[in-house]
Chains A and B, each alone.
Chain A
Amino acid sequence: MKQQGYHKRAARRTLALAVAGASMVGLSSVAQAQQTLNIVSWGGAYSMSQEKAYHEPWSEKTGDEIVNIDRSANALAGLRAQSQAGNVTWDLVDMLPADAMIACAEGLVEPLDHDELLAEAPDGTPASEDFVEGALGECFVASIVYSNIVAFNSEMFPEDNQPSTIEDVFDLENYPGQRALMRRPINNLEWALIADGVDRDDVYDMLETEEGIQRAFAKLDTIKDNVIWWEEGAQPPQLLADKEVAFASAYNGRIFDAMVTEDQPFEIIWDAQVFELDGWVVPTGKLDKVRDYLYFATDTQRLADQAQYISYGPARMSSSDMVSTHAEAGIDMMPHMPTYEPNFATAIQKDDEFWADYSDELSQRFDAWLAQ
């Protein structure tokens, strides 16, 4: 992971050259007025995959310059502030559906007419039927399915005793070492309940009850002293690589990236992965500016292309069949996708509505618990 910054910058230079080249082409053809698109995303390997799959071809085609802004983690705050200031500088924002729901309810982002704005599948299926379930919200269009998983550094356990289930993460006796978990209740509470024996279909019903919450915290208590809490998506692979921790919860794509591009000896525990969608919202007033880009970046080919660079599943069914091999490493991407059948067997879908309601209260409780 330490080298990733270097790769990222190298890529940026390449991009800059590509943009410069493309704009020269643009000069001769004068196909379209060039513009600068400020696109907010998550940074790291994920932004890289967007750059390769969407931004580069788009710049080549139109001469537009695309500026990447790594602010998705605080995108809702940023959108609010900008709209309040009456000076919206972001043109397109990559965010989670739960945030998109709130942004939509506050009128910060445009409602989207999916069939009008999005490309059909190659076989003519309208967009609204081609995207996977839950991928299209009132103001939201998903591009990927990603997953929150726990990964481990395989060098830190003997070969005959490698962890494989979420219970193992909570098992300090057989699998000693520090754990790195996200400093938020999301995912951690779900995993705690499952590790404590709750059926995955009952997790969110359980969490609506006081008893369930207490049970989850009690389970987390058992490993609390061995947890380092992370806050940025880039931290877990770094912590794993440095062997600061044995296990780390992470976004599956980041772990994959470290495994493939840096040869890190990481393994993903797919058991009880919490999967979720992620995609675009258009800040209010920006629809006309990004309409063409959005159409382009969400079509079947682009979503399939993105899967060459990062192990996130495309949100379009028509793209799934086109997922092939990793662009550089040449390995088959399918087994690394959250949606791959064997990985998906015990998956949980994150309940956005539950978290929209309870994240304030549970975050506070979680913090209070941490402070104890």
Chain B
Amino acid sequence: MAIPSYATRGERIWHYVFLGICALIFLFLVGPLLIIIPLSFNAQPYFTFSQKMLTLDPEGYSLRWYQDFFTSRAWLHAIKNSFIIGIASTILATVLGTIAALGLSSRHMPARGAIMALLISPMIVPLIISAAAMFFFFSKVNLAQTYLGVILAHTALGIPFVVITVTATLSSFDTTLVRAAHSLGANPTRTFFKVVLPLVTPGVVSGALFAFITSFDEVVVVLFIAGPEQRTMPIQMWSGIREQISPTILAVATLLVLLSMLLLTTLELLRRRGERLRGVTPG
């Protein structure tokens, strides 16, 4: 943000003050996430920087909490569950959501607004309400305390994200490309796979990532409808935080921060690819 040439001295000062304020806000946003990374290497079972850590004494640091994490049956079981449930519900949500988005982006979709509002509602309805409601209903139809139940619930929660991202991609999709393909003799199937799909893929993948992270991070619904078998990682963290925050939690948290960095990078690359394919160049 350049300072315009006509700025007065006061404005210049204000400009730097403003930048300072913004820097503080960014610190507020990211600082807490970065602070836990060194804390997770604390050799002591405490939640704060020990003297040895501050003086960068190697003795102050250790990998014991990571070791704890990777050797604990409960945690490993929880990770496995998180991935099973996350992947299954992501696939379901992505398939259902993408097909629906194709319909929604049609100009002739009847009652579009109302249907869209319904499809987005799992994102808006507070999780505790969804959780209570699903608990009542799933108990009745024997889905509570089953993997299928948790997967269905998470699919419902992930769907809005897929629908939003894919319809957004489709709305910027140039339909003349389809007509062009047709006119060049491609049949609809071929057109879909050769033209539509490659252009829509970034949207679908980012929708899928959203759906996955939604499931992967979800506590409340699992808390209500899952049985002991379906304990996921967030549940394990939740009970850990409620009972006693051992630094193992911080080790897990660090790993999760790294995971989110990875996901974010993937998304960013996808976005750039999408822009390149659509011929939009960053300014």
Q: Are A2 and B246 in contact (CB-based, < 8 A)?
A: yes
Which chain A positions have C-beta within 8 A of B248? 5
Q: Are B244 and A234 in contact (CB-based, < 8 A)?
A: yes
Q: Is B91 an interface residue (CB 8 A)?
A: no
Q: Are A9 and B68 in contact (CB-based, < 8 A)?
A: yes
Out of B45, B71, B143, B227, which one reaches A2, CB within 8 Å?
B45
Q: Are B72 and A70 in contact (CB-based, < 8 A)?
A: no
Q: Are A81 and B135 in contact (CB-based, < 8 A)?
A: yes
Q: Is B83 an interface residue (CB 8 A)?
A: no
Q: Are A89 and B228 in contact (CB-based, < 8 A)?
A: yes
Q: Are A85 and B138 in contact (CB-based, < 8 A)?
A: yes
A86 to B135, CA, bound (A): 13
Q: Are B145 and A69 in contact (CB-based, < 8 A)?
A: no
Q: Mark B54-71, 1 if CB is under 8 A from A, else 0.
A: 000000000000001001
Which chain B positions have C-beta within 8 A of A221? none
Min CB–CB distance A294 → chain B (angstroms): 20
Count of B residues near A, CB < 8 Å?
26
Which chain A positions have C-beta within 8 A of B146? 87
Out of A6, A43, A67, which one reaches B243, CB within 8 Å?
A43
A1 to B145, CA, bound (A): 32
8 A Cβ contacts from A55-86 to B:
67, 69-71, 81-82, 84-86
8 A Cβ contacts from A1-23 to B:
1-6, 9, 12-13, 16
Which chain A positions have C-beta within 8 A of B143? 85
Q: Are A3 and B45 in contact (CB-based, < 8 A)?
A: yes
A234 to B45, CA, bound (A): 16
Q: Are A81 and B139 in contact (CB-based, < 8 A)?
A: yes
Q: Is B108 an interface residue (CB 8 A)?
A: no
Q: Are B228 and A71 in contact (CB-based, < 8 A)?
A: yes
Q: Are A232 and B242 in contact (CB-based, < 8 A)?
A: yes
Min CB–CB distance B79 → chain A (angstroms): 15
Q: Mark B126-148, 1 if CB is under 8 A from A, else 0.
A: 00000000010011101111100
Closest A residue to B228 by CB, please name it. A69
Min CB–CB distance B282 → chain A (angstroms): 48
Which chain B positions have C-beta within 8 A of A81? 135, 139, 144-145
Q: Are A82 and B145 in contact (CB-based, < 8 A)?
A: yes
A86 to B246, CA, bound (A): 37
Which chain B positions have C-beta within 8 A of A238? 244
Which chain A positions have C-beta within 8 A of B142? 85-87
Q: Is A171 an interface residue (CB 8 A)?
A: no
Q: Mark A81-97, 1 if CB is under 8 A from B, else 0.
A: 11011110100000000
Q: Is B46 an interface residue (CB 8 A)?
A: yes
Out of A4, A9, A89, which one reaches B145, CB within 8 Å?
A89
Q: Are B140 and A235 in contact (CB-based, < 8 A)?
A: no
Out of B72, B140, B144, B243, which one reaches A12, CB within 8 Å?
B72
Indicate the member of A43, A44, A70, A84 with the most B CB atoms within 10 Å.
Answer: A84
Q: Is B20 an interface residue (CB 8 A)?
A: no
Which chain B positions have C-beta within 8 A of A43? 243
Q: Are B139 and A9 in contact (CB-based, < 8 A)?
A: no
Min CB–CB distance A155 → chain B (angstroms): 17
Indicate the member of A9, A67, A84 with the most B CB atoms within 10 Å.
Answer: A9
Q: Are B144 and A44 in contact (CB-based, < 8 A)?
A: no
Which chain A positions have C-beta within 8 A of B144? 81-82, 85, 87
Which chain B positions have C-beta within 8 A of A232? 242-243
Q: Is B31 an interface residue (CB 8 A)?
A: no
Q: Is A351 an interface residue (CB 8 A)?
A: no
Q: Are B73 and A16 in contact (CB-based, < 8 A)?
A: yes
Q: Are A235 and B71 in contact (CB-based, < 8 A)?
A: no
8 A Cβ contacts from B196-251 to A:
227-229, 239-240, 242-244, 246, 248
Which chain A positions have C-beta within 8 A of B227? 82, 89
Q: Are B244 and A2 in contact (CB-based, < 8 A)?
A: yes
Q: Is A115 an interface residue (CB 8 A)?
A: no
A86 to B141, CA, bound (A): 9
Which chain B positions have C-beta within 8 A of A1? 244
Min CB–CB distance B276 → chain A (angstroms): 49
Q: Is B74 an interface residue (CB 8 A)?
A: yes
Q: Is A162 an interface residue (CB 8 A)?
A: no
Which chain B positions have C-beta within 8 A of A363? none
Q: Is A231 an interface residue (CB 8 A)?
A: yes
Q: Are A70 and B239 in contact (CB-based, < 8 A)?
A: yes
Q: Mark B110-130, 1 if CB is under 8 A from A, else 0.
A: 000000000000000000000
Out of A4, A9, A71, which one reaches B72, CB within 8 Å?
A9
Q: What are some 17 contacts across the A-B interface (CB < 8 A)?
A: A5-B240, A6-B68, A12-B72, A12-B73, A38-B228, A69-B228, A81-B144, A81-B145, A85-B139, A85-B144, A87-B144, A89-B227, A231-B242, A232-B242, A232-B243, A235-B243, A235-B244
Given A2-B46, A89-B228, A235-B243, 18 new contacts (CB under 8 A): A6-B45, A9-B71, A16-B73, A44-B243, A67-B228, A69-B228, A81-B135, A81-B145, A82-B144, A85-B138, A85-B139, A85-B145, A87-B144, A89-B229, A231-B242, A232-B243, A235-B244, A238-B244
